[in-house]
Amino acid sequence: MHASPFVIETTGLVKRFGLRTVLDGVSLRVPHGQVIGLLGLNGSGKSTLIKCLLGLLRPDAGEAALLGTDSWQLAAREKALIGYVPQEATLYPWLTVRQTVAYVSSFYSRWDRAWGEELVRRWDLPLGHRVGPLSVGQRQKLALVLALGHRPELLILDEPVASLDPVARRWFLETVLETVADGVGTVLFSTHITSDLERIASHVALVRDGRLEFHDEIDALKDRIKRLRITAPADLPRDLRLPGTLRSVVSGSQAIVTVDGVSEPLLAGIRERFSADVLVDDLNLEEIFLELHDAESAAAATVGR
Amino acid sequence: MPRSQPLFVVHASSGVPIYRQLVDQVETLVAGGRLRPGDLVPSVRQVAAALGVNPMTVSKAWSRLEADGVLIRDRGRGMVVAQRQEPASLADRREEVRPLVDRAVTHALHIGLTPTQLVALVRESLEEHRSCMHRPS
């Protein structure tokens, strides 16, 4: 039983390394059952956020809690319900795969031995081989066995697929989905590969410069942000401003405008005001991600002028 | 009994949300008669596993189709294709088709078809549809 309805909860989380502010007031609430993708550029603060959540780093201000318990106070009882795959798993190279599984499982009273063996078998991990010379993909698979064997309620993955080839990646994601279908519950994973996120995540949280830009359903994001291609009979105003504009390029009688919050009245308004044709482009997550970052750099350029 | 299971294809990186792609595909299968009233659609779990997408996404598509009256929940079985809803009355149905007929008639007269030729054309079209509908599946 958790007091909080949120599996993951942070409020105004701040983390600095020296003079550099890596997390700048992150408030994130994730209820049970979400598969949430943490999307951001390299260095945007994704890993730091994850480490604060897990109590591996102590925040300078604000609060972080997992399963209703303050992250810094997580005890064995809560940790037994959490599975974590770090960017690079720390494994003992001299142990064999079999010894590694036996060693890690001994820390968990909830370890499901049959399930662990099933995963090892299904993923063709060489039980008798030493961990040291395993390929990156195999090490990631092993790390996932170690994170799933105790049937966690919350699974946290930090760039789990960055170093995997497409086949291994697809396989990895399917396994995560399968465990979700089995009722693991909540999954948070960080990535900068948007196609993976689109496939398996229900929600996306965009992290930029240590701030949380957006946290909502992926579908909601796609329904909201659209690119409009406007063609008018006469020149359009150079300073064309539409409500919710993220980025706007005007060239003579044509304009391409990305807006957050497209609606029929908005489109009808444009058609009427400029007697223009308006085409609406659907954007995928990568395009949205780029539009948002372009908007930022465009705004910065304007300010700097 | 479900006949062959319909296959769905989704493009994760399309700008169209995955649930919408699934909704469109089921509607197309129903409209085209590939899925018939009473047919069972695959479970959320089956579709999610087959496509490698989040089960919540599939669940959302099925719920949307249920809300739209395309699918109904059959306790113990799963989601099945709903009976097609007929418009309330003959008058309503006539009203629905009327504008299409008007346009066809106007166009036919405009390009010089005689009334007799037009009626013959309608008969031909009806004949083709009838043979389509009776084709064994």
- CATH at residue A240: 3.30.70
Domain stop point among A209, A234, A260: A209
Extended strands (E) in chain A: 6-17, 20-31, 35-39, 61-66, 69-70, 82-85, 154-158, 186-191, 203-208, 211-217, 225-231, 245-251, 254-260, 277-282
The answer to whether residue A216 sits within a structural domain is no
pLDDT confidence tier of residue B3, bands split at 50, 70 and 90: very low
The predicted pLDDT at position A3 comes to 58
- CATH at residue A81: 3.40.50.300
Q: Give the C-alpha separation, B34 to B81, whole Å.
A: 11
A241 and A156, same domain (yes or no) = no
ipTM tops 0.95: no
Helices B44-51 and A166-181, axial angle in degrees (round to 10): 170
CB-CB neighbors (< 8 A) of B56 in chain A: 33, 35, 202
Q: Which residues of chain A have pLDDT under 70?
A: 1-3, 181-184, 295-305
Q: Total structural domains in chain A?
A: 2
A60 and A150, same domain (yes or no) = yes
The predicted pLDDT at position B50 comes to 84
Q: Do A202 and B53 touch (CB under 8 A)?
A: no
Residue A230: what residue type?
Answer: I
The answer to whether residue A214 sits within a structural domain is no
Q: Give the C-alpha separation, B111 to B41, whole Å.
A: 46
Alpha carbon of B52: minimum distance to chain A alpha carbons (Å): 6
pLDDT confidence tier of residue B88, bands split at 50, 70 and 90: low
CB-CB neighbors (< 8 A) of A286 in chain B: 13
Q: What is the pLDDT of residues B46-81, one digit of tens each?
A: 898 888 888 888 999 999 999 988 999 988 888 999
Q: What is the pLDDT of residues A203-255, one digit of tens each?
A: 999 998 999 988 888 888 888 899 999 988 989 888 888 888 888 889 889 99
Q: Do B55 and A180 touch (CB under 8 A)?
A: yes
Domain that holds residue A228: 221-304
The answer to whether residue A1 sits within a structural domain is no
A227 and A149, same domain (yes or no) = no
pLDDT confidence tier of residue B133, bands split at 50, 70 and 90: low
- From the list B17, B18, B52, the residue facing A177 with the nearest CB is B52
Q: Do A198 and B48 touch (CB under 8 A)?
A: no
> CA A91, A95, A98, A102 torsion: positive or negative?
negative
Domain stop point among A209, A243, A274: A209
Q: Which residue in B67, B61, B80 sits closest to B20, CA to CA?
A: B61
The answer to whether residue A134 sits within a structural domain is yes
A280 interfacial to chain B (CB closer than 8 Å): no
The predicted pLDDT at position B108 comes to 87
Domain stop point among A209, A241, A273: A209
A142 and A204, same domain (yes or no) = yes
pTM: 0.75
A120 and A172, same domain (yes or no) = yes
The predicted pLDDT at position B62 comes to 95
